[in-house]
């Protein structure tokens, strides 16, 4: 994966919701071309950040036995420009889930202001089909780092 848009998972309630953070710096390479002299995070990458949070929620909730992947984006609304130096809070909440898919509402806020929200349809598949053993070890290492100090199933606002 070229871009990783989760710096840390702050809170996670299994099969319900997740809150993660991303600190944007001017050194993010996409800012160089979008746009020179006025750097803005592309909307597609905001959706990717939301999908990564949704994937983390679904995969951790399933004990890393299922791979979550983006199938569809619905009702995406971009409300504010996202710029370097901002701290993004990414929240994803499961609206419905079955064995093969989940519908997740996701939003990104910055300083308590909603900058983007959307509904994501996430597919769920056997993780062993998607990742060979060595790749899975790398993915699990990311989750270990992101989840350090986080208690699953804690209530939060």
Give the residue numbers annotated as catalytic, written as ranges.
34
| Assigned token pair, 40 | 């803005």
| Assigned token pair, 107 | 């939003």
Q: Is 1 exposed, middle or buried (0-12, 13-18, 19+ CB in 10 A)?
A: exposed
- Residue 130 C-alpha from the chain's centroid: 18
User: In a 3-state reduction of DSSP, which class is residue 48?
Assistant: helix
């Amino acid at each position: 994966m070229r871009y990783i848009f989760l710096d840390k998972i702050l809170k996670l309630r299994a099969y319900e919701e997740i809150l993660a953070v991303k600190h944007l710096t001017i050194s993010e390479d996409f800012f160089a071309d979008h746009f020179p002299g006025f750097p803005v995070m592309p909307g597609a990458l905001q959706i990717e950040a939301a999908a990564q949070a949704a994937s983390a929620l679904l995969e951790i909730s399933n004990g890393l036995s299922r791979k979550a992947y983006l199938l569809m984006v619905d009702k995406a609304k971009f409300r504010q420009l996202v710029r370097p130096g901002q701290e993004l809070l990414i929240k994803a909440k499961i609206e419905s889930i079955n064995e093969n898919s989940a519908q997740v509402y996701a939003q990104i806020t910055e300083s308590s202001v909603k900058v983007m929200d959307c509904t994501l349809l996430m597919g769920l598949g056997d993780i062993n089909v998607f990742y060979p053993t060595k790749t899975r070890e790398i993915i699990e290492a990311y989750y270990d780092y992101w989840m350090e100090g986080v208690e699953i199933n804690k209530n939060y606002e």
